[in-house]
Amino acid sequence: MPQSMKPGQRRKWAVLRQQGEGRFVILHGILRMGLSWGLILSLIEYLIKYGFSLFGLGNHLAQEWFWIIFRASLFGVVMGFSLWRINEKAFLAGNEN
């Protein structure tokens, strides 16, 4: 059984809930979590592939933009829907009490 939310969390979730699942996934999943995760992962991959050399950084990053956006979007959508589901279960568990 999911743990219910505290009153402050319930109020915040009620506002986010009214704004809709799609907006939540875009703002909190893709832009907040996905973008940061995609950039960090791409930076790590860049360092593994090319080392710490800054020579030609622009050329390599231009080639990597597709993968940065792809990773950020994929991870963000998965995390956004997962967080929505977790928060929704906790919100509804509080309604049952």
CA distance 71 to 75: 6
pTM: 0.79
Residue 48 confidence (pLDDT): 83
Residue 22 confidence (pLDDT): 96
Q: Which residue ranges of the chain lie beneath pLDDT 70?
A: 1-2, 53-62, 96-97
Residue 57 confidence (pLDDT): 62
Residue 3 confidence (pLDDT): 76
pLDDT in tens, 60-76: 666 778 888 888 899 99
